Amino acid sequence: MDWIKDIDFADLLEKDVRLVFEHCKLATLLDLWENLPGINIYISEKSLFEMKKRYIRKYFDREDDNNNAKALAARLKASEKFVYEALDTTDKKDDRQERLL
């Protein structure tokens, strides 16, 4: 798909394709077209939130919890409330629905 680089094409991009191009650049757009053509992709933040929680549990310093909570919140672009709530969770998968089967 290198031939695309030989033409002006930005005016032909629409909707999500334009967003991917503008925010992730041409290489990502080409990868998506080559590997996942024709499918709709929804990028949920659920995994990102779980990663933030894991990061908080790993790097939270209980001896300096107030300053540490503020620093973690700022670094992760989250609230201090989110930081403290993350400390009350684990990586354990919620299997309540599966146990009903």
pLDDT digits (tens, 9 = 90+) for 35-50: 999 999 888 999 999 9
Say how far apart CA 17 and CA 3 lie, in whole Å. 18
Say yes or no to pLDDT of 23 above 90.
yes
More confident residue, 91 or 33: 33
Say yes or no to pLDDT of 57 above 90.
yes
Per-residue pLDDT reduced to its tens digit, 80-97: 999 999 999 888 765 665
Query: 91-101: b or e for each residue (b if 16 or more CB lie within 10 Å)?
Result: eeeeeeeeeee
Counting residues of the chain whose pLDDT is more than 90, the rounded percentage is: 74
The pTM of this model reads: 0.70
